[in-house]
Chain A
């Protein structure tokens, strides 16, 4: 038993780690061998050095972006699941509002970002709203789909015993919907970081707090491509971290609900 879990762990960690090492080595070798200008493609060693020397400002930027993305994600998680729940309870509301919820999915966030700055002021709030807009729709859609996926015979059972709406929601529909809701949250976790970075491009600075989006912009203007790479990597890591958090919550809940993952 123990041996097989070690094997499984090795199987899930080793191949991607190996890929990583191979890519880094090839990249470093290619940049050096073909003498590619560093402002076009910096070698990984330069990116590593830039990350280390700029660690203070990068760390602060990472924290700022994490705040914006995290706040936006929490906002879309709470509002998205609530809206999904309300839609599931009323066909009328769903028909009336779903197309406009879909609008949030299709609106080009870069184009709307200036509006957000006008409405919410520059800085954290506009960034969080941007992260919210980008990430809320998958949560609404998946919550709704999950709540609708209840086995009709279980609904019959609840109906037969005259269950109150509150009981049906709490004891049947929500537990049934959780796997699907978690799928929505997983998608949204990555999107919220993208939304935050885009928000920062436009909503930028306030009170001296600059996120990774700002780091990317200023590194680009100074042709500090090594720093730009570092910022992009950190932003991806942030998305991964959020995703991992939601994933572990998902595993925990599914085990509790005894639903096969």
Chain B
């Protein structure tokens, strides 16, 4: 499914992983998280002090849907990872307040997921991921199911969170503009078997807001990613390119 992936991701970077559906980008993310193990090859996570064993516990995952427990309040959902790691319920609830404040949901602690909008649920999901103070945050097409405006707001918020927290973020998406807006580095994958066909450092200012989306540089960078996808027969709606390409 994946082939010849040789990748070094620096601590504190923001990487977008792009590719057509089914190319194996989610699989790669699951390998990194340790949820699945590759048939061949290895993945090493090293903490800044070089200790490898503790690194995986400092990892968090955000899924495509918010994946909240419907019977738990917002606060209890965010406290869940700490409870699972052995904290007492009271302690976990106390520590859950900060990430909820970071995603501006302090006023809905005692609500249940079914009382929230899709965008709010996703923010709860992000707060839940942040509660363990992860050094690596993995996101698998987290905003794909949301409307465009909500999605852009969440992109902006995630970018800010990354800047204040200085964690490594790996963001899987199939949306080119989202990748360009968020990341410092974009990796474009080909159709299955997935290979990395472009490894590009995005040349955009570090302060990014809504205005950037209409900026010429932004459009140029997005177009560059688009061409990489197209050239390698990776666009879903261009099978003829795949036939003729013969990469």
Confirm or deny: A249 has a beta carbon within 8 angstroms of a beta carbon on chain B: no
Cβ contact within 8 Å between B70 and A160? no
User: Contact: B85 with A161, CB < 8 Å?
Assistant: yes
Cβ distance A172 to chain B, nearest Cβ, rounded Å: 7
Query: Contact at A258–B84, with CB atoms within 8 Å?
Result: no
Over the window 42-67 of chain B, the binary record of Cβ atoms lying under 8 Å from chain A Cβ atoms (1 yes, 0 no) is: 00000000000000010111010101
A161 touches B84 (CB 8 A): yes
The residues of A that contact B80 with a CB separation of less than 8 Å are 161, 171
Query: Judging by beta carbons under 8 Å apart, are B71 and A161 in contact?
Result: no
Total residues of chain B contacting the partner, CB 8 A: 22
Structural contact, A257 and B71, CB atoms closer than 8 A: yes
Instruction: Please name all residues of chain B whose beta carbon is closer than 8 Å to the beta carbon of A154 when the two chains form the complex.
Output: 67, 69
C-alpha spacing A115/B69, complex, angstroms: 47
A193 CB to closest chain B CB (Å) equals 32
Q: How distant is the Cα of A243 from the Cα of B100 in the complex, in angstroms?
A: 43
Q: Min CB distance, B228 to chain A, in Å?
A: 30
Contacts of A258 in B (CB 8 A): 70-71, 112-114
**In angstroms, how far is the closest chain B Cβ from the Cβ of A40?**
55
Query: Which one of B33, B65, B70 lies within 8 Å of A259 (CB-CB)?
Result: B70
CB–CB A156/B85 < 8 A: no
In Å, the complex CA distance between A163 and B86 comes to: 9
Is B81 within 8 A of A256, CB to CB?
no
Shortest beta-carbon distance from A154 to chain B in Å: 6
Task: Report if A157-B61 is in contact (Cβ < 8 Å); known contacts: A162-B85, A163-B84, A258-B71.
Answer: yes
Contact B71 A153 (CB under 8 A): no
Interface residue? B132 (CB, 8 A): yes
Question: What chain A residues lie within 8 Å of B81 (beta carbons)?
Answer: 157, 161
Is residue B83 within 8 Å, beta carbon to beta carbon, of the partner chain?
A: yes
A205 interface residue, CB < 8 Å from B?
Answer: no
User: Which residues does chain A contribute within 8 Å of B70, judged by CB atoms?
Assistant: 257-259
Is B85 a contact of A172 with CB atoms below 8 Å?
Answer: no
Nearest chain B CB to A200 CB, angstrom units: 41
Q: Contact at A175–B61, with CB atoms within 8 Å? A: no
Q: Is A120 an interface residue (CB 8 A)?
A: no
How many whole Å from A167's CB to the nearest CB in chain B? 6
- Residues in A whose Cβ lies below 8 Å from that of B85: 161-162
* A37 to B46 Cα, complex, angstroms: 91
Which residues of chain A have C-beta atoms less than 8 A from B112's C-beta? 258
Q: Which residue of B lies closest to A155 (CB)?
A: B35
Given contacts A161-B132, A256-B71, A258-B71, contact A156 B35 (CB under 8 A): yes
Instruction: For residue A205, give the distance in angstroms from its CB to the closest CB of chain B.
Output: 48
A163, B85: Cα distance in complex, Å: 7
Residues of B within 8 A of A158 (CB): 84
Known: A167-B83, A167-B84, A258-B112. A160 touches B71 (CB 8 A): no
- A207 interface residue per 8 A CB criterion: no
Instruction: Give the CA-CA distance A246 to B81 in the complex, in Å.
Output: 34
Query: Which of A's residues lie within 8 Å of B, judged by CB?
Result: 151, 153-154, 156-164, 167, 171-172, 175, 256-259
Which 4 A-B pairs have CB atoms at the shortest separation, nearest pair first? Answer: A161-B84, A163-B84, A257-B71, A258-B70
